[in-house]
Chain A
Amino acid sequence: MKRRGKLFRAFGVTSVAAATVLVMATTSGASSSSSIAKGAPVTIGISLSLSGDFSADGLAYQQGYKLWAADVNASGGLLGHKVVLDIVSDASSPTQVVTNYQKLVSVDHANLTFGPFSTLLTLPAAQTVNRYGYAMLEGAGGGPSVFQAGLKNVFDVTLPVAYDLQPFAKWLTSLPASTRPKTISYVTSNDPFTQPVVQEAQKLIGKKLKTVYNNVFPAEATDYTSIADAVAAAKAQVVVLGSVDVPTVSAFMQAFEQAHYTPEAFVATAGPDQGAAFINAVGAGNADGMMVPNSWYGGSKNPASVKMVAEYVKKYGGTAAGVNADIAEAYSVGQVMAQAVTATKGFDNAKIIKYLHSGVTMSSVQGSVKFNSLGENTAQTAYTFQWQGSKFVEVNPVGDPGSSKILFPKPAWGN
């Protein structure tokens, strides 16, 4: 899911690249290329974090985009044009992502653009391509800051992150008073992705559980020991962690175990959804009972998803449970764009934007897609997933046909 950013990495490359692009941009006009010569490929410009803080997600996104491109090309391309992905690395830098999209549009003359990874990078990316009239179809920029920027060209195929913990909050507050936990701790990174999720959960849970710890920690933190120790000392029965990646969750889990503290329910906004990467970092025994919100998982029965997962496993190995949700997000971006291109019978970004705003319902491996005026996908359902042994299963919404019984209270660490 969505991660934090760093400025340091951009130090060495940004200035040179920016100057180069500036010079080239002044000599080559940029515009949304709507017509493509017969037989010529359609180029899709994408900036991804192939190194730096978001590299794990960036590379997963690259796999998802490439998987979609291979599939669409195998079936004849987009309107008969072969899809070519023009992927450049932004090194997880919000500065570099701007430079990259300027280059992709004004120098490379990409016909379409797909989004980068994270809310942090999507906002500047969408603002950049908006100047050229391009649609920014993305799957990882679900933070409110993206939708509150007043942009009309941004469309997130994934459920807006603010809704992520709704099913969890609903389940928690609907438990009978006799079994419902009494205390809860909220701790989150000050990240544009995590904070809205945790704040929304707090709002929904309200005073039904007593908040015994509530704090924000800097995204730049490298050592979480004292923060995690403070959370453990509060001894809440439920912990809501606004995490951005596996290391953050792993650090809290390790500190909790060292403090001999096992919350009855532990949900993290990101990290446990990373499939095999999460298990490898924390150990299968420790993962048991860990929860994470998301809108997709590898075991989804959606036929398109089943097909995509099978292709992914065939190409990259592993198991369905180990497929990163980023893959599905990226793949969905391609699917929705393909439907928009087919419907508008061309690559005119203005028409594509108008079509995506028309209220039409589309489909993706993640489920239905329907955009509101802000570009949020309002047709998707939020789910909560849980590691149960070596399986990653859907546990709520309670009563959903795909939901398993929630493992509550969470087993002790290392079982």
Chain B
Amino acid sequence: MNSSALIHAVIDGVLTGSVYALMATGLTLIFGVMDIINVAQGIFVILGAYLSYALSVHWGIDPFVGLVITIPTLFLVGIVVERAFIGRLKGPEKTAMSILVTYAISLVIEGSLNMIFSVNDVQISASYVTKTFRIFGVYFAYIYVYGFILAAVLLTALYLMLYRTRFGASIRASLADQTAAALVGIDVKRVSTICFGIGIAVTAAGGMVFGATNAFNASTSYDLISRLLVIIVLGGMGSLGGALLAGILMVTLEDIVGVVWSPVWSIIAFYIVLVIVLSLRPQGLFGKQSARIA
């Protein structure tokens, strides 16, 4: 094993992990505010990828430029889904029921995508997808760097929205305690709806980068959701910073183990770390043990 391979693995991990973090941020935001485990997040990522693919193939719109269309579109899709299905979930079984409801939603979307795009794998292409630049003998693919920058910009925007705006304060209040937030006049229902929309909207960006770096079809969502769920469990359910750190940690650790030891151990190594972390901190790296007591 040479040192440049190790450095490359770390850089790959950070660049790719940030995109996974972006996808997982939506998931953790939705859980944090609404107590909803959205297992449809994977298919929303793929929906975002397909939207970018369709804009690119049929209208020649660059995938990054296309985000101007796909992000608001998925935000609206999120709003509709929340109003039609998620917002109707009530009572103590709400979280458990949300798994079934979102699973059903993912099946419907998967079936629809299969009908529209067929099950054949596709990939988003653009001139910079295979282009690279070289620093100290190591090639860097533009698409991963652009993906990292996109993730950084969107996560920063999300952070600023949460910590520098009045609406962000409403979200954080709802994250901490929905009942208390409602008592001080916050419209928790409205906050939940918008949060769900935001949580789905970020998948447009994550999906676009994923679709440009991987061939995909609708069933790819099953690989994605299992990883996204693991990221938010490790980072702490409801923690945005935790999702960011866990996403980067997961991919970087897997890449390093793959290079230093063997790829077959890479996922196992990550799960060993997950078990150790959860043994010591059952709430995850940044989860608050009492935050969800409502």
What is the minimal beta-carbon distance from B45 to any residue of chain A, in angstroms?
11
| Set of chain B residues within 8 Å of A163, measured between Cβ atoms | none
8 shortest interchain CB distances as A-B pairs: A217-B263, A226-B255, A277-B120, A247-B215, A250-B215, A281-B215, A258-B141, A246-B121
- Decide if B258 is an interface residue (CB 8 Å cutoff): yes
What is the minimal beta-carbon distance from A286 to any residue of chain B, in angstroms?
8
Identify 27 residue pairs between A and B in the complex whose beta-carbon atoms are under 8 Å apart, listed by A's number: A8-B222, A8-B225, A9-B222, A12-B103, A51-B111, A53-B222, A56-B121, A58-B119, A217-B266, A222-B223, A222-B227, A223-B16, A225-B16, A225-B213, A225-B255, A230-B9, A230-B258, A233-B8, A245-B121, A254-B129, A254-B130, A258-B130, A258-B141, A259-B139, A280-B121, A281-B123, A283-B125
Q: B210-238 CB contact bits vs A (8 Å, 1 = yes)?
A: 00011111111011111100000000000
- Decide if B100 is an interface residue (CB 8 Å cutoff): yes
- Decide if B259 is an interface residue (CB 8 Å cutoff): yes
Residues in B237-288 with C-beta less than 8 Å from chain A = 251, 254-255, 258-259, 262-264, 266-268
Complex CA–CA separation, A181 to B56 (angstroms): 40
- Decide if A414 is an interface residue (CB 8 Å cutoff): yes
What is the minimal beta-carbon distance from A261 to any residue of chain B, in angstroms?
9
Residues in B134-172 with C-beta less than 8 Å from chain A = 139, 141, 144
Residues in A281-328 with C-beta less than 8 Å from chain B = 281-283
- Decide if A171 is an interface residue (CB 8 Å cutoff): no
- Decide if A174 is an interface residue (CB 8 Å cutoff): no
Contact A221 B130 (CB under 8 A): no
- Decide if A59 is an interface residue (CB 8 Å cutoff): yes
Complex CA–CA separation, A276 to B130 (angstroms): 21
Chain B residue at minimal CB-CB distance from A248: B215
Contact A220 B223 (CB under 8 A): yes
Q: Which of the listed residues B120, B122, B131, B144 has the most CB atoms from chain A within 10 Å of its own CB?
A: B120
Given the interface pairs A51-B114, A52-B222, A229-B12, the reply to whether A221 lies near B215 with Cβ below 8 Å is no
Contact among B9, B263, B268 with A215 in the assembled complex (CB-CB below 8 Å): B263
Complex CA–CA separation, A359 to B43 (angstroms): 48
| Set of chain A residues within 8 Å of B5, measured between Cβ atoms | 229-230, 233
Contact among A6, A280, A281, A414 with B130 in the assembled complex (CB-CB below 8 Å): A414
- Decide if A260 is an interface residue (CB 8 Å cutoff): yes
Contact B263 A246 (CB under 8 A): no
Contact B141 A247 (CB under 8 A): no
- Decide if B87 is an interface residue (CB 8 Å cutoff): no
Residues in A220-274 with C-beta less than 8 Å from chain B = 220-223, 225-227, 229-230, 233, 245-247, 250-251, 254, 257-260, 274
| Set of chain A residues within 8 Å of B4, measured between Cβ atoms | 233
Contact B13 A247 (CB under 8 A): no
Contact A226 B121 (CB under 8 A): no
Given the interface pairs A12-B100, A52-B219, A282-B123, the reply to whether A222 lies near B13 with Cβ below 8 Å is no
- Decide if A33 is an interface residue (CB 8 Å cutoff): no
Question: Which residues from chain A sit less than 8 Å from chain B, CB to CB?
Answer: 6, 8-9, 11-12, 51-53, 55-56, 58-59, 92, 190, 215-218, 220-223, 225-227, 229-230, 233, 245-247, 250-251, 254, 257-260, 274, 276-277, 280-283, 413-414
Chain B residue at minimal CB-CB distance from A6: B222
Contact among B2, B224, B255 with A222 in the assembled complex (CB-CB below 8 Å): B224
Complex CA–CA separation, A134 to B267 (angstroms): 39
Contact among B13, B121, B225 with A277 in the assembled complex (CB-CB below 8 Å): B121
Contact A254 B213 (CB under 8 A): yes
| Set of chain A residues within 8 Å of B255, measured between Cβ atoms | 225-226
Contact B9 A220 (CB under 8 A): no
Complex CA–CA separation, A52 to B224 (angstroms): 12
Complex CA–CA separation, A157 to B136 (angstroms): 53
Residues in B186-226 with C-beta less than 8 Å from chain A = 213-220, 222-226
Q: Which of the listed residues B121, B130, B216, B255 has the most CB atoms from chain A within 10 Å of its own CB?
A: B121
How many chain B residues sit at the interface, stated as a range, is: 35 or more
Contact among B251, B258, B267 with A220 in the assembled complex (CB-CB below 8 Å): B267
Contact B132 A260 (CB under 8 A): yes
What is the minimal beta-carbon distance from A150 to any residue of chain B, in angstroms?
28
Chain B residue at minimal CB-CB distance from A220: B267
| Set of chain A residues within 8 Å of B215, measured between Cβ atoms | 246-247, 250-251, 281-282
| Set of chain B residues within 8 Å of A221, measured between Cβ atoms | 263, 266-267
Contact B114 A230 (CB under 8 A): no
Complex CA–CA separation, A216 to B292 (angstroms): 42
| Set of chain A residues within 8 Å of B219, measured between Cβ atoms | 9, 51-53, 55, 92
Complex CA–CA separation, A258 to B219 (angstroms): 26
| Set of chain B residues within 8 Å of A11, measured between Cβ atoms | 103
Q: Which of the listed residues A217, A222, A223 has the most CB atoms from chain B within 10 Å of its own CB?
A: A223
What is the minimal beta-carbon distance from B274 to any residue of chain A, in angstroms?
14
Complex CA–CA separation, A283 to B121 (angstroms): 12
Contact B267 A230 (CB under 8 A): no
Contact A215 B264 (CB under 8 A): yes
| Set of chain B residues within 8 Å of A280, measured between Cβ atoms | 120-122
| Set of chain A residues within 8 Å of B263, measured between Cβ atoms | 215-218, 221, 226-227, 230
Complex CA–CA separation, A283 to B124 (angstroms): 11
What is the minimal beta-carbon distance from B125 to any residue of chain A, in angstroms?
7
| Set of chain A residues within 8 Å of B220, measured between Cβ atoms | 222, 247
What is the minimal beta-carbon distance from A10 to any residue of chain B, in angstroms?
10
Contact A247 B121 (CB under 8 A): yes
Contact B114 A55 (CB under 8 A): yes
Contact B139 A281 (CB under 8 A): no
What is the minimal beta-carbon distance from A272 to any residue of chain B, in angstroms?
12
Complex CA–CA separation, A12 to B4 (angstroms): 44
| Set of chain A residues within 8 Å of B16, measured between Cβ atoms | 223, 225
Complex CA–CA separation, A282 to B254 (angstroms): 26
Contact B129 A6 (CB under 8 A): no
What is the minimal beta-carbon distance from A259 to any residue of chain B, in angstroms?
5
| Set of chain A residues within 8 Å of B139, measured between Cβ atoms | 258-260
Complex CA–CA separation, A43 to B2 (angstroms): 60
Known: A55-B119, A225-B213, A247-B214. 8 other contacts (CB 8 A): A12-B103, A51-B218, A56-B217, A217-B263, A223-B254, A226-B266, A251-B213, A259-B132
| Set of chain B residues within 8 Å of A274, measured between Cβ atoms | 120
| Set of chain A residues within 8 Å of B227, measured between Cβ atoms | 222
Contact among A53, A56, A220, A226 with B13 in the assembled complex (CB-CB below 8 Å): A226
Contact among B100, B213, B217, B258 with A226 in the assembled complex (CB-CB below 8 Å): B258
| Set of chain B residues within 8 Å of A190, measured between Cβ atoms | 264
Chain B residue at minimal CB-CB distance from A190: B264
